[in-house]
Structure 1
Amino acid sequence: MGYLLNPGAGLHLAQLSHSAKIAKAPSDISQTILNFFPANIFDALAKGNVIQVIIFAILFGIVLNQANRHGAFNSILTGVQQVNQLTVKLVMLVMKAAPLGIAALMAWVTATSGLKIILPLLKFLMAFGLGSLVFLMGLFAFISWYAKVPLRGLIKGFTRIILIAFTTTSSAIALPVELDDAQARLGVSQSISQLVLPLGMALNSNGLAMYLALACFTLTQLYGMSLTLLALVKIVVLAVIACLGTVVVPGGGLVALTIVVPTLGLPTESIAILAGIDWFSGMFRTVLNVVGDTTTAIAIAADENELNRAVYVQEHPATKES
């Protein structure tokens, strides 16, 4: 969709171009893969090489999990958990002050670039909306075939979930509705839904991954930069990895952007350009996230013979009152 609509084309933010320099992509795929892994984790931390830090964190977590089967490394695990809790509190503290900074940066961008900045933002939302629609159509068609359920009944069963996700922009708020409708309207057993949906809320972020990739594509266009195929692959991979465990509240996309954008050589203030429409893009992100979680639960329930297909041909029960 980014290539089709070119949301960032036609406007060059020359006033920031001196601080924006795209990271040079390696010439072959093998070197790209090798660059994902740090030779020295402290060097990666000092240089802000986020993708290497994330890869190290994943590998370190796997090793710690394997080594701590008998509780020999509980102190290290506790320390990591405490650092994580403090980091989340720090992020939430910064997010409370973020609206002031975003307003100041947006005022500066609008003053220097004029109202012309509005058009790329509208095109960005259009590209994201169309991309979300294509993704949902493909996902529903695949799950209908995979789980052997009627497509019409599948889409009808998702109506309330999509409505709640679209209006609240929060996967956490939509979770109770997901749990209820997954069982009552989509036929997923309670044991499957209660395991898959909370786990998916933290780990499965289809919408955020799409948003990050399209946002990076748009920002590089706004700064007059060109991306090679390998650079695009790196952006997509980093976008997927950055979504693991991302904050599941409104505004979490901005946190993920601060991880991905600096790796492109773009200034962090460029995030403010998309921050002004974060609420609207959050609508699409949340829908894709929760639908991805619920369709995963349907697929697993079908594999485990715990899917009640009769609900797809019956009238759905009225919404339960609190």
Structure 2
Amino acid sequence: MNKTQTSTNHANKLAIKMATALIIGLIAGTSFIFLRENLISSGNSDTWTMINNLLFQDITNKEASNAIGIFYIVGQLFINSLQLVIVPMVFTSITLAMCNISDTKKLGRISYKTILGFLGTSLFALILAGIFGLTANKLGLFNVSIDNIASSEGSIASNPLLVFVQAIPNNITSVFGENGRVLSIVFLASVTGICINSLGDEILVLKKLLQDINKIITTFLTFVITKFGPIAIFVLITRTFAIYGVDHLKPALAYVGTATIALLIFLSFGYALFIYFTTGLNPMIFVKKISKVALFGFSTSSSAATLPLNTKTVVEELGVSEEIASFTLPLGMTINMNGTAIMQVIAAIFIASSSGYEVTVGNILIISLLALIASIGTPAAPGAGAIILFTVLTGMGYQNDAAVLAYSLILAINRPIEMLVTSLNVVGDAATCVYVSKSENNLNEEIYNG
């Protein structure tokens, strides 16, 4: 058995383990939902509080000083171990990619094709979201009561174009000190790699150091994902559904249903069609191999946490060259947010409709444009999409009391939608990666079809 076959077998086993963990987690989480509702309705809320404190409580909360939160601790340890290497991984991988591309014209082509792929999938995602949102609104599905939903403050609105200004940092230490400045890391890595490339043999020690760091990161992530990934998926899924009651879901069932259907359709068919029409490859092979990445993104609800597995999958199983994967995927994690854009468009239409604002085709076009721009600056972290949604609402002027209540409702019930959104985002990055590699004639189709 050759190395490629061995790698594929290991990947298939990991995918099966992850899928099994997801299913068991969904069953366990749903069981805890019913247990929670039964205990609370029967007057035994103290019992549920004890269970919640033991297993699920976020121990960072002020009122949780005596809680244990076993599932929370395990899940956070796993997420933290992945986020620990985001900055060094993105910086080293992109820098080395720039070092290895000696042809500046090739670099320009890759950049152009990558952006084109991102914009192409985003355009179709926004069209689909607009159609679903407008249809649901016309059918009166969004005319729901939002009374008795506690108000919650949104983020302070800012111009979404600031993301482009902040791409070039004025303080290098601040960029490396947090995970929220990935676009700045991409810029610094690209500049560093191009400069090393230009200087050639004059810069050898730094290049070798970056290569060694990259190998350490790859080894660490492979160990974490393969050994602890399935366990973490079970823990994260179970906890998410266990703490997610049905009390806020009923008033916004129309939004949840509409967004879920739109996201699932684009995830199931949108990227498959994109692969077929742009590369001519068998899209079912792509769907099969990328499924574990989608599952992982669903469970972690973080594009950043999913980046290591996504990189490993597109290179080892889909045949994408490392130089293209190391450039396209980190960039896509930052600016390619198809799922986020779909969620924001449908959520904005839901909020406008339930708050008494008129929803027209023209309004939806403006919402889509704002959602596209705002999604570019969405941090690759859980829950970020719903926070950035406030930018879209502010841009449209949806700020009356009813809109604030509806927005608060979205914040309360959006966690499952955010999980599905992440799946779309990471699969979209992988699809664009395959397209760019194929267009550059360096896609290993033997690995892809294997």
Question: TM > 0.5 between the two?
Answer: yes
Number of the residue aligned with 2:423? 287
Q: Secondary structure at the match of 1:78?
A: coil
Match of 2:170 in 1: 78
User: Per the alignment, do residues 209 and 84 of structure 1 end up closer, same or farther by CA in structure 2, a change over 3 Å counting?
Assistant: farther
CA distance in 2, matches of 1:311, 1:80: 39
Query: In structure 2, how many angstroms separate the alpha carbons of the residues matched to 1:273 and 1:84?
Result: 35
1:144 maps to 276
The aligned counterpart of 2:160 is: 54
Deviation per CA, 1:78-122, whole angstroms, max 9, x where unpaired?
169959989x69xxxxxxxxxxxxxxxxx9xx9xxxx6x633422
CA distance in 2, matches of 1:259, 1:80: 27
Inter-partner Cα distance in structure 1 for 2:298 and 2:331: 20
| Aligned-residue offset at 1:303 | 1.1
User: Is contact 1:187-1:309 (8 Å) kept?
Assistant: yes
> For residues 159 and 141 of structure 1, do their structure 2 counterparts lie closer, same or farther at Cα, with a shift above 3 Å needed?
same
Distance 1:169 1:181, change over 3 A: same
User: Which range is displaced more, 208-217 or 250-259?
Assistant: 250-259
Q: Which shows bigger deviation, 175-184 or 270-279?
A: 270-279
1:163 aligns with 2:295: yes
1:144 and 1:154 in contact (8 A); partners too: no
> Equivalent residue for 2:334?
202
> Is the aligned partner of 1:229 residue 2:361?
yes
Task: Summarize the Cα distance change of 1:238–1:150 in structure 2 as closer, same or farther, 3 Å threshold.
Answer: same
Q: Render the CA deviation track for 1:186-236: whole Å, top value 9, x for unaligned.
A: 111111111110111011111111111110011112113221222211111
Give me the whole-angstrom Cα distance separating, in 1, the residues matched to 2:404 and 2:172. Answer: 27
Q: Shift of residue 161 of structure 1?
A: 0.8
Q: Residues 187 and 311 of structure 1 are in contact (CA less than 8 Å); yes or no, is this contact kept in structure 2?
A: yes
Matched residue of 2:379: which SS? coil
Tell me the distance in 1 between the aligned counterparts of 2:390 and 2:339.
Answer: 17
Aligned letter for 1:78? N
Residue 257 of structure 2: aligned partner:
126
For residue 309 of structure 1, what is the aligned residue in structure 2? Answer: 445
CA offset digits 1:252-284 (Å, max 9, x no partner): 113202212223322444321011122101111
Q: Could you list the runs of 5+ residues in structure 1 that have no partner in the other structure?
A: 17-47, 66-76, 90-106, 315-322
Change (3 A) 1:85 1:183: closer
Question: Is the CA contact 2:341–2:368 (under 8 Å) kept in the aligned structure 1?
Answer: yes
* 1:150 Cα deviation from its structure 2 partner: 1.0
SS of the aligned residue for 1:197 comes to helix
2:351–2:406 contact (8 Å) kept in structure 1? yes
Amino acid at match of 2:262: G
Corresponding residue for 1:275?
A: 411
SS where residue 376 of structure 2 aligns? coil
- Which secondary structure does the structure 2 equivalent of 1:224 belong to? coil
Amino acid at match of 2:355: Y
Work out whether 1:248 is the aligned partner of 2:380: yes
Amino acid at match of 1:179: T
Tell whether the 8 Å contact from 1:246 to 1:256 is kept in structure 2 after alignment.
Answer: yes
Q: Is the contact made by 1:14 and 1:223 (CA closer than 8 Å) also made in structure 2? A: no
| Counterpart code for 1:177 | L
- CA offset digits 1:146-175 (Å, max 9, x no partner): 212112211111111111111111101111
One-letter amino acid of the counterpart of residue 276, structure 1: A
TM-score, normalization: structure 1?
Answer: 0.66
8 Å CA contact 1:169, 1:283 repeated in 2: yes
Q: Does 1:175 find its partner at 2:307?
A: yes
Map of 2:133 onto structure 1 = 2
Residue in structure 2 matched with residue 71 of structure 1 by the alignment:
none
Contact 1:187 1:310 in 2 (8 A): yes
Alpha carbons of 1:153 and 1:128: their partners in 2 closer, same or farther (altered >3 Å)?
same
Provide Cα deviations, 1:55-92, integer angstroms capped at 9, x if missing partner.
4764x579xx7xxxxxxxxxxx5169959989x69xxx
The answer to whether structure 1 residue 238 and structure 2 residue 374 are counterparts is no
SS in 1 for 2:285: helix
TM-score (ref. length: structure 2): 0.49
User: Is 1:299–2:429 an aligned residue pair?
Assistant: no
Q: CA shift at 1:10, angstroms?
A: 3.4
Instruction: Report the AA paired with residue 358 of structure 2.
Output: S
Q: 1:205 to 1:289 in 2, by over 3 A?
A: same
Distance 1:139 1:249 in 2: 22
Mapped to 2, the partners of 1:55 and 1:159 lie a distance apart of: 33
The equivalent of 1:135 in structure 2 is 266
For 1:40, the equivalent position in structure 2 comes to none
Cα contact 1:12–1:224 (8 A) shared by 2: no
d(CA) in 1 for partners of 2:338, 2:366: 17
- For the residues of structure 2 that align with 1:224 and 1:287, how far apart are their CA atoms? 32
Q: Could you tell me whether the CA contact under 8 Å between 2:298 and 2:422 is conserved in 1?
A: yes
Q: Indicate if the aligned counterparts of 2:344 and 2:389 stay in contact, CA closer than 8 A.
A: yes
C-alpha separation in 1, matches of 2:326 and 2:334: 13
User: Residues 129 and 57 of structure 1: is their aligned pair in 2 closer, same or farther, counting only changes over 3 Å?
Assistant: closer
Give the RMSD, CA atoms, in angstroms. Answer: 3.2
Larger Rg: 2
Runs of 4+, deviation exceeding 6 Å: 83-86
Structure 2 unaligned spans of 5+: 1-131, 150-155, 182-244
Matched, 1:11 2:144: yes
Aligned length: 244
* Shift in alpha-carbon separation, 1:296–1:125, aligned structure 2, 3 A: same
